[in-house]
Amino acid sequence: MNSKTLLTLGLCALAASVFAGCSTQKTRTGRNNSVLGGLAVVNTGSYMPPGANTIHIDGTQFDGRVNPSGDEIKLFWGAITYTDY
């Protein structure tokens, strides 16, 4: 295969993974937005405790917020979790 064909296939694969990997689900407690199969997940109104196998960043202590929103952001398939509750 020549380099133009490989470049075209690579760009098509990259575009497919970026534009086709988003999903939004409405749950009982709020919304769950996922990008690229879990690379970044945003849960609104979650209030669920983070798992034991994650680096947890507590937004109420980190930002000094008084009234939490209940949002949870997971990055890199749950390796890093930011919670605001």
In tens, the pLDDT along 8-32 reads 888 877 776 666 566 666 666 666 6
- Residue 19 to residue 49: CA distance in whole angstroms: 30
Q: Tokens for 18, please give them.
A: 């970026």
- What confidence score (pLDDT) does residue 31 get? 67
Q: What is the pTM of this model?
A: 0.61
State the average pLDDT for the chain: 77
Nearest to 70 by CA among 85, 59, 81, 80: 85
Residue 63 or 75, more confident: 75
